[in-house]
């Protein structure tokens, strides 16, 4: 019988190429090109990694202390990475300092693939015998509906985890819970040679080991777990103690199909329209690109055709840009090159008028904490966290960037209930905490949208008294003002409860932090009483210590950030909720006066204690000036301006909003900073074919793109002769699909093809929340742009962030305003 894939045997051997990547057609092996960024131990981007036919399907090839390590499990520390380009050897030296354990991971190409060895300069410490092993994790969604062979025996990858489990004496960090025994999965299969997906040339990988191999399903322990191949390190040996040979199927002349980056939402007739064709670097075919108009009867008419303009190379691909700005006729269109065709998109004047509706109508209501949220037949969540909050313990560092200092800075003892915090606020990102820095950023951004565009849309019933929300049910009040009120209530509650802004309110341990599903089930909703036994309830209080913690160390930066939001909210709420508006302004001015009369509190930790102090103070001064028009705030803005000018890009939009109320010399001083901003951002935008700044950190850059677009809009209004408005449209096109790696819209439910599997609190369901904005394209170093569309658990790519939702509402309306101005210049 002739093998179906006999041609694969002639595939070229791996070679160490550009970027210190082992390359063959359709196969890239990365070896410690990436390392854990410190945000969490395990971001699924490190160690030995495999990119096969354009998809990163394996990662974390390294020595680990568990068969299926979780997000907070111990991980080795990278000491040094060495590359020998002549021999093709990559060597990584790592250690587990707490065990006095060092090891070397070496890789080199062979005739059949990649050889990976683990070497020990000293014998494995006794404490790690039976624990330390070399793991390689495979993406479950890449192997759904696939089979495997182990030493010739067949097996299948389960769509849903169902492995046998064994009890462990204590729950480990991966499972997180502090009470009772835990469990971990047993091996699905064991042997010395595995062949994964033998029938699928795009996913076929073979692994041969000189010590026993075992396959585990990490999803039995955590929904974000991967399939793990593992070999235990032998005891009592030194030198090379383990050798794996990895062979990922390579297909001669394989080329990644072209991707036509474009806006899935579409384009306004008058705006610039540029599609970006992303091509394999070995693809020399410059087939024409066609813009096709779709008729009512399905007929196709070529509206424009051309080869586009060669842009050059960026990351691992080469690019052509197809400008079809001259096509203005409204209608439904697709783009085509060769066999690649896009989904339909629109050209329409009213394109941006409703693009932001899902974000305000659905995403923000779903994100509302302390509210029951219903949508027709669906309950998104009950009224959660009625038991907020307990004072966090002193000198405690939380798993998610919160930390309590040496005192509580409140009148409350550690573990004592702080009354009044169980109101308002939005659940942060894909989690269930209230991060104050996010809260005040959202309030300010919403106020800006209100003042810039007067968004009176009413599609949601929000009853603060009943703590009840009905999505798609009008109630006679502007939704944007109701959301501003909701965030403001939480900010005021913090000052009322402890006298200053707090870092946030967050679940105490890993078990609650990893909770997925209805937020109301994360706690029992009753204030904890330590005098009661766990599970005991008396007089409406509970002995179960499940209440969230409030981290309360004083931070002047947080105070100023909250002052700015309260001052802004006072303007927006004036005439809508006068009593609340008055409380906002009184609190903002009182706390401002307190801060001015004392040395600043400089406590800092993670990303939960505010931005740079000078930036937060400047923003507070500008917002107070806009609200009160008092000379003292003019003086404060002037005092802060030299520091702001030095890092203008960070606060450019804030500085511009102060202009109408400042003396003429303030504007004159800004001109040079604005010109410098244009020069710097133009250079960043020109560094890639998409015309926006693209970040390369461990968190993808949708937020940066939104900031770029919104800042451009504000500066254009203030300095129309210096700043052009086109960045607004480029930023939206990027978010809507004109970006590296794919053409999917990063705003769920907006655009023909958008993010339908994302990192919300419903991520275990492989679903989405309409209007949520994901971080987007993450650059896996050195050159691989990635956004997984079939795996929601990579937070750096797919986690909804609340403040980017608010920024998107503003940017979409900025585009709409510019379009309407183009249609009617008198506007």
> Is 442 a member of any domain?
yes
Give the structural domain span for 274. 259-353
Average pLDDT over residues 120-149: 97
pLDDT of 150 higher than 70: yes
pLDDT for the residue 183: 87
Q: Is residue 462 part of a domain?
A: yes
Whether residue 201 sits in one domain with residue 108: yes
The structure's pTM equals 0.96
pLDDT at 756: 97
- Out of 20-24, 72-76, 107-111, the most confident range is 20-24
Inform me whether the pLDDT recorded for 770 exceeds 80. yes
H/E stretch holding 750: none
Closest CA to 117 of 100, 139, 92: 92
Confidence class for position 789, pLDDT limits 50, 70, 90: very high
Domain CATH for 324: 2.60.40.10
- 756 inside domain: no
What does the pLDDT average to over 353-377?
A: 98
CA distances from 53 to 209, 227, 255, 602, 736 (A): 24, 19, 8, 49, 25
The CATH number linked to 75 is: 2.70.98
Question: What is residue 826's predicted lDDT score, i.e. its pLDDT?
Answer: 47
- pLDDT of 172 > 70? The answer is no
Whether residue 150 sits in one domain with residue 15: yes
669 belongs to a structural domain: no
**Within this chain, do residues 130 and 13 fall inside the same structural domain, yes or no?**
yes
Indicate whether 652 pLDDT > 50. Answer: yes
Query: CB-based contacts of 440: which residues, under 8 Å, 6+ apart?
Result: 487, 491, 501, 561, 562, 564, 565
pLDDT of residue 13: 84
Instruction: Examine the pLDDT at 80 and tell me if it is beyond 60.
Output: yes
The answer to which of 6-10, 79-83, 691-695 has the lowest mean pLDDT is 6-10
Q: Confidence class of residue 8 from pLDDT cuts 50, 70 and 90?
A: very low
Considering the domain architecture, whether residues 498 and 570 belong to the same structural domain is answered as: yes
Does 685 fall in a domain?
no
Bigger pLDDT: 654 vs 163: 654
Mean pLDDT, rounded, for 228-250: 97
- The backbone region for 463, taken as left when phi is positive above 0, alpha when psi lies in -120 to 50, beta otherwise, is beta
Q: Report if residue 772 sits inside a domain.
A: no
DSSP letter, residue 352:
G
Identify whether residues 307 and 456 lie together within a single domain: no
Same domain, 432 and 293: no
Q: What is the pLDDT of residues 456-501, one digit of tens each?
A: 999 999 999 999 999 999 999 999 999 999 999 999 999 999 999 9
Instruction: Determine which of 20-24, 198-202, 558-562, 821-825 has the lowest per-residue pLDDT on average.
Output: 821-825
pLDDT in the model for residue 285: 85
Co-location of 324 and 420 in the same domain: no
Q: Is residue 588 part of a domain?
A: yes
Statement to judge: residues 486 and 585 lie in one domain? yes
Pick the last residue of a domain from 248, 273, 292.
248
Does the pLDDT at position 2 exceed 60?
A: no
- Could you tell me if 399 and 443 lie in one domain? yes
Same domain, 161 and 299: no
Last residue of a domain, one of 353, 371, 396: 353
399-431 pLDDT, tens digit per residue, is 889 999 999 999 999 999 999 999 999 998 788
pLDDT, residue 174, reads 42
The CATH number given to whatever domain includes residue 446 is 1.50.10.10
Span 784-810, mean pLDDT? 96
Give the pLDDT of residue 12. Answer: 67
Residue 170's pLDDT is what? 60
Whole-angstrom Cα distance, residue 749 to residue 761? 17
Among 194, 225, 248, the domain-final residue is: 248
The answer on pLDDT for 175 being more than 70 is no
- What is the radius of gyration, based on Cα positions, of the chain? 28
Query: 539 pLDDT exceeds 80?
Result: yes
Q: Which range (31-45, 63-77, 377-391) has the least confidence?
A: 31-45
pLDDT higher than threshold 80 for residue 572 = yes
Other CB atoms within 10 Å distance of the CB of residue 292: 19
Question: Which two structure tokens, joined as six digits, stand for 301?
Answer: 């008419």
pLDDT of residue 173: 45
Would the pLDDT of 703 be above 80? yes
Same domain, 418 and 283: no
What are phi and psi for residue 294, nearest 5 degrees? -100, 125
Residue 700 located in a structural domain = no
pLDDT at 286: 87
Which position has the token pair 């190429």?
Answer: 17
Token pair belonging to 601: 């509190």
Question: To the nearest whole percent, how much of the chain has pLDDT over 70?
Answer: 96
The pLDDT of residue 6: 39
| Number of domains present in the structure of the chain | 3
Token reading at 198: 């033998």
342 and 443 co-located in one domain: no
Paired strand residues for 293: 301, 333
């Amino acid at each position: 019988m002739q093998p179906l894939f006999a041609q694969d045997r002639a595939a070229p051997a791996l070679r160490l190429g550009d970027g210190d990547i082992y390359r063959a057609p359709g196969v890239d092996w990365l070896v410690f090109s990436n390392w854990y960024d410190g945000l969490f131990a395990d971001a699924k981007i490190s160690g030995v990694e495999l990119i096969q036919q354009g998809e990163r399907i394996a990662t974390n090839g390294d020595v680990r202390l568990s068969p299926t390590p979780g997000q907070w499990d111990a991980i080795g520390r990278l000491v040094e990475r060495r590359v020998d380009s002549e021999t093709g050897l990559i060597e990584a030296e790592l250690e587990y300092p707490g065990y006095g354990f060092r090891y070397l991971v070496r890789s080199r190409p062979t005739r059949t693939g990649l050889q990976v060895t683990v070497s020990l300069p000293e014998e494995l410490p006794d404490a790690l015998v039976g624990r330390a092993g070399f793991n390689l994790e495979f993406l479950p969604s890449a192997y759904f509906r696939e089979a495997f062979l182990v030493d010739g025996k067949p097996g299948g990858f389960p769509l849903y985890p169902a492995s046998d489990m064994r009890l462990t004496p204590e729950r480990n960090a991966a499972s997180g819970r502090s009470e009772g025994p835990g469990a971990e999965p047993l091996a699905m299969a064991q042997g010395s040679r595995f062949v994964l997906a033998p029938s699928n040339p795009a996913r076929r990988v073979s692994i041969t080991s000189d010590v026993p191999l075992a396959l585990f399903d990490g999803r039995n322990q955590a929904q974000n777990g991967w399939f793990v191949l593992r070999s235990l390190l032998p005891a009592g040996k030194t030198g090379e103690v383990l050798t794996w040979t990895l062979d990922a199927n390579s297909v001669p002349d394989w080329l990644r199909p072209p991707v036509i980056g474009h806006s899935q939402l579409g384009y306004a007739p008058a705006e610039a329209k540029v599609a970006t064709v992303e091509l394999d670097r070995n693809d020399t075919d410059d087939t024409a690109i066609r813009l096709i108009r779709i008729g009512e009867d399905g007929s196709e008419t070529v509206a424009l055709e051309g080869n586009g303009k060669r842009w050059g190379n960026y990351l691992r691909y080469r690019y052509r840009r197809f400008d079809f700005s001259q096509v203005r006729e409204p209608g439904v269109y697709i783009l085509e090159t060769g066999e690649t065709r896009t989904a339909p998109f629109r050209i329409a004047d009213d394109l941006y008028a409703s693009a932001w509706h899902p974000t305000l109508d659905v995403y923000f209501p779903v994100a509302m904490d302390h509210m029951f949220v219903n949508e027709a037949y669906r309950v998104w969540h009950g009224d959660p966290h009625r038991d907020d909050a307990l004072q966090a313990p002193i000198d405690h560092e939380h798993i998610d960037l919160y930390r309590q200092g040496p005192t509580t800075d409140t009148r409350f003892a550690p573990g004592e209930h702080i009354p009044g915090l169980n109101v308002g606020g939005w659940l942060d990102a894909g989690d269930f905490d209230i991060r104050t820095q996010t809260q005040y950023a959202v309030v300010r951004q919403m106020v800006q949208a209100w003042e810039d565009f007067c968004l009176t849309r009413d599609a949601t019933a929000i009853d603060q008294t009943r703590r009840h929300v009905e999505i798609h049910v009008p109630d006679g009040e502007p939704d944007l003002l109701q959301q501003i009120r909701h965030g403001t209530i939480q900010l005021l509650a913090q000052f009322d409860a402890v006298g200053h802004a707090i870092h946030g309110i967050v679940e105490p341990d890993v078990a609650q932090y990893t909770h997925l599903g209805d937020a109301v089930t994360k706690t029992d909703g009753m204030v904890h009483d330590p005098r009661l036994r766990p599970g005991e309830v008396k007089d409406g209080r509970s002995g179960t210590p499940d209440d969230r913690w409030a981290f309360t160390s004083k931070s002047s930066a947080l105070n100023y950030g909250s002052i700015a939001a309260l001052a802004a909210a006072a303007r927006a709420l004036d005439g809508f909720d006068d009593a609340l508006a008055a409380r906002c302004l009184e609190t903002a001015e009182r706390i401002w006066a307190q801060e001015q009369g004392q040395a600043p509190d400089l406590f800092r930790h993670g990303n939960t204690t505010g931005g740079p102090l000078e930036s937060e103070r400047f923003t507070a001064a500008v917002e107070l000036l806009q609200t009160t028009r008092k000379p003292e705030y003019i003086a404060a803005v002037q005092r802060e301006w030299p520091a702001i000018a030095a890092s203008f890009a960070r606060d450019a939009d804030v500085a511009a909003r102060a202009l109408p109320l400042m003396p003429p010399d303030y504007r004159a001083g800004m001109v040079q900073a604005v010109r410098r901003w244009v020069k710097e951002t133009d250079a960043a935008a020109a560094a890639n074919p998409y015309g926006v700044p693209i970040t390369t950190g461990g968190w993808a850059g949708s937020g940066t793109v939104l900031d770029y677009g919104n800042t451009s809009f504000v500066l254009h209004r203030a300095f129309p002769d210096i700043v052009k408005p086109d960045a607004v449209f480029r930023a939206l096109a990027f978010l809507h699909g004109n970006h590296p790696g794919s053409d999917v819209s990063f705003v769920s439910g907006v655009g023909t093809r958008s993010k339908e599997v994302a990192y919300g609190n419903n991520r275990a369901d492989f679903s989405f929340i309409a209007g949520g904005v994901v971080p987007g394209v993450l650059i896996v170093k050195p050159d691989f742009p990635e956004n997984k569309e079939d795996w929601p658990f990579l937070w750096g790519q797919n986690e909804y962030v609340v403040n980017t939702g608010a920024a998107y509402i503003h940017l979409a309306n900025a585009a709409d305003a510019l379009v309407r101005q183009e249609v009617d210049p008198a506007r």
